């Protein structure tokens, strides 16, 4: 707290400020003339700390007070992350589809004899079996996982990034500069 400067202290068991049209907490460098109450130049803007439980110190090596989130900038950055993850998921899906094609080609490395009932010849029988196993694994395990991830990414943006989403980090009512 400042020394030899003007100050207002409100102290009570409960304190409530009520307004019908909003409350603004404003800090500025000495008003329009740039002077504080002792007529000293003020060229630094101070922020607002909201402290609950009286904890405003370093605890276990971390500042207990943390910066407030600038919601629209966080929203923008989260949209960019979400867009990148969707693109990554799309690329993984494309790799997945190409891998299925490739294992199908390898599995078809079986060739048949020239007569109708001729011998079945496989250039690489172990490779054909392994390709079939890989295809089965991709279809059973990876395809549902990638599909689920795509849905989760869409839900992430809807629920967290969009204002009004079920778990949105944007306050519907409160703002900070």
pLDDT digits (tens, 9 = 90+) for 91-150: 888 888 888 887 777 666 665 555 555 555 666 677 777 777 887 888 888 888 888 888
pLDDT of residue 114: 57
Q: What residues make up the domain containing 125?
A: 71-161
Q: Flag whether 77 is in a domain.
A: yes
Q: What is the DSSP string of 15-60?
A: -----SS-------SSTTTTB-TTS-B----------STT--SEET
Number of independent structural domains in the chain? 1
Q: Flag whether 81 is in a domain.
A: yes
Q: Flag whether 57 is in a domain.
A: no
Q: At what angle do helices 71-107 and 125-137 cross, to 10 degrees?
A: 150
Average pLDDT rounded to a whole number, residues 26-50? 75
pLDDT of residue 77: 81
**Whole-structure pTM value:** 0.56
Q: Which of 9-18, 103-112, 149-158 has the lowest mean pLDDT?
A: 103-112
Reduced to 3 states (helix: H, G, I; strand: E, B; else coil), residue 112 is strand
Q: Flag whether 122 is in a domain.
A: yes
Q: At what angle do helices 71-107 and 143-156 cross, to 10 degrees?
A: 170
Q: What residues are paired with 41 via a beta bridge?
A: 35
Q: Flag whether 128 is in a domain.
A: yes
Task: Report the half-sphere exposure of 87 (CA within 13 A, side-chain side).
Answer: 6
Q: Flag whether 138 is in a domain.
A: yes
Q: Flag whether 62 is in a domain.
A: no
Q: Flag whether 9 is in a domain.
A: no
- Taking alpha carbons only, the member of 129, 91, 133 closest to residue 110 is 129
Reduced to 3 states (helix: H, G, I; strand: E, B; else coil), residue 87 is helix
């Amino acid at each position: 707290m400042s020394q030899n400067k003007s100050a207002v202290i409100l102290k009570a068991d409960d304190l409530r400020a009520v307004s019908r049209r909003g409350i603004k907490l404003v800090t500025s460098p000495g008003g329009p003339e740039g002077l504080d109450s002792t007529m000293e130049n003020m060229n630094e803007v101070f922020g607002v700390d909201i402290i609950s439980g009286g904890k405003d110190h370093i605890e276990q090596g971390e500042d207990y007070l943390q910066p407030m989130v600038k919601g629209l900038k966080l929203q923008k950055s989260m949209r960019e992350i979400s867009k990148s993850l969707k693109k990554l998921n799309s690329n993984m899906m494309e790799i997945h589809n190409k891998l299925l094609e490739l294992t199908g080609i390898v599995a078809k490395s079986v060739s048949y004899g020239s007569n109708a009932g001729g011998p079945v010849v496989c250039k690489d029988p172990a490779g054909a079996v392994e390709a079939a196993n890989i295809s089965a694994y991709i279809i059973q395990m990876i395809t549902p996982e990638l599909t689920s991830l795509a849905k989760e990414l869409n839900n992430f943006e809807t629920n967290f990034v969009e204002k009004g989403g079920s778990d949105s980090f944007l306050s519907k009512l409160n703002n900070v500069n």
